[in-house]
């Protein structure tokens, strides 16, 4: 696997702490066991390429490594019992409004468990980390990629329109998606959420115009506050106490995004994980109730 990931035998040897000849011998032994070459060896420092057989084998090899990592995480959790750590994958928005409440309640019940929140740059990495055993469980937007995941939906997070405080829309309780599509917009650079919003906006018959894109929620809100445009944002990401912006809570025609907690379906979960999921549902239900009363 290291040869595939690094691209050369010498780089793999360096990463593993072996000699290059030792790596070559291990690959040769595997090729004898398989009965076919796994790499196209072009000589020199150029990157090696997998043969067709090698491409097929590496898919199975990655799955085996992921299952081994998950098994190691299982054993560590069982041995830890009511002590140890719980590694939780999270997202920027969840870390603002959901996770702080959740962590306080969890620590009150399980003071000897170290909660380790872990963020990734890409939402797809959250699911991959759960599958490999890097995370014990994770928050993730739905739908999750295909894989060995148990899924508990915890929150429907509605999109709101963020407007400058002195905008004509300020004070409105609702706005149509058709109206939003004609506004100068500040969007997300994340391809998943950007594509989702673009598809909905284009269904109005108007091609939306974007003046800026970012993946940083406070940056987007700051640009709106400065009067540079409007933004469609999941409500979970918005600082609703900011006096320089107006929050229009209902955008007709735009469905909410759905958030879940996911974990590896084949893992024997300790009580701490089950309780964490229960508390996540509890906190998210309270947040939804708060929104409905406003």
CA atoms within 13 A on the CB side of 44: 2
Q: For 251-275, how does the pLDDT look when each residue is reduced to its tens digit (9 = 90+)?
A: 999 999 999 999 998 877 778 888 9
Mean pLDDT, contiguous 10-residue spans, the chain (294 residues): 73 76 78 81 73 80 72 62 78 90 93 87 87 92 92 96 96 95 94 90 95 94 97 94 95 94 86 91 95 83
Domains of the chain, each with CATH number or no CATH: 2-50 (1.10.10.10), 83-156+258-293 (3.40.190.10), 159-255 (3.40.190.10)
Could you give phi then psi for residue 76, rounded to 5 degrees?
-65, -40
Q: For 149-175, how does the pLDDT look when each residue is reduced to its tens digit (9 = 90+)?
A: 999 999 999 999 999 999 999 999 999
Q: How many CB atoms lie within 10 A of CB 63?
A: 12
What pLDDT does residue 193 have? Answer: 87
What pLDDT does residue 45 have? Answer: 65
**pTM (predicted TM-score):** 0.70
- Are 60 and 30 spatial neighbours (Cβ–Cβ below 8 Å)? no
């Amino acid at each position: 696997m290291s040869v595939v990931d690094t691209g050369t035998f010498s780089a793999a040897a360096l990463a593993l702490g072996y000699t290059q000849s030792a790596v070559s011998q291990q690959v040769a032994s595997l090729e004898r066991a398989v009965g076919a070459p796994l790499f196209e060896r072009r000589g020199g420092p150029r990157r090696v390429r997998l043969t067709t057989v090698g491409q097929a084998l590496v898919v199975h090899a990655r799955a085996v490594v992921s299952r081994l990592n998950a098994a190691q995480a299982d054993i560590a959790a069982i041995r830890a019992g009511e002590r140890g750590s719980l590694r939780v994958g999270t997202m920027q928005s969840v870390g603002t409004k959901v996770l702080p409440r959740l962590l306080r309640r969890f620590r009150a019940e399980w003071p000897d468990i170290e909660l380790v929140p872990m963020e990734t740059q890409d939402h797809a990495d959250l699911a991959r980390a759960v599958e490999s055993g890097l995370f014990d469980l994770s928050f993730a937007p739905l739908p999750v990629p295909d894989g060995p995941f148990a899924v508990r939906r915890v929150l429907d997070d509605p999109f709101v329109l963020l407007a400058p405080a002195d905008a004509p829309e300020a004070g409105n309780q609702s706005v149509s998606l058709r109206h939003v599509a004609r506004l100068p917009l500040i969007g997300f650079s994340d391809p998943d959420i950007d594509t989702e919003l673009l598809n909905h906006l284009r269904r109005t018959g108007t091609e939306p115009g974007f003046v800026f894109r970012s993946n940083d929620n406070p940056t987007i809100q700051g640009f709106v506050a400065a009067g540079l445009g409007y933004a469609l944002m999941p409500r979970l990401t918005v600082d609703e106490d900011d006096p320089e912006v107006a929050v229009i809570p209902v955008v007709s025609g735009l469905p909410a995004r759905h958030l879940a907690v996911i974990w590896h379906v084949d893992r024997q979960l300790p009580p701490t994980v089950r309780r964490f999921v229960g508390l996540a549902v509890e906190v998210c239900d309270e947040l939804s109730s708060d929104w409905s009363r406003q």
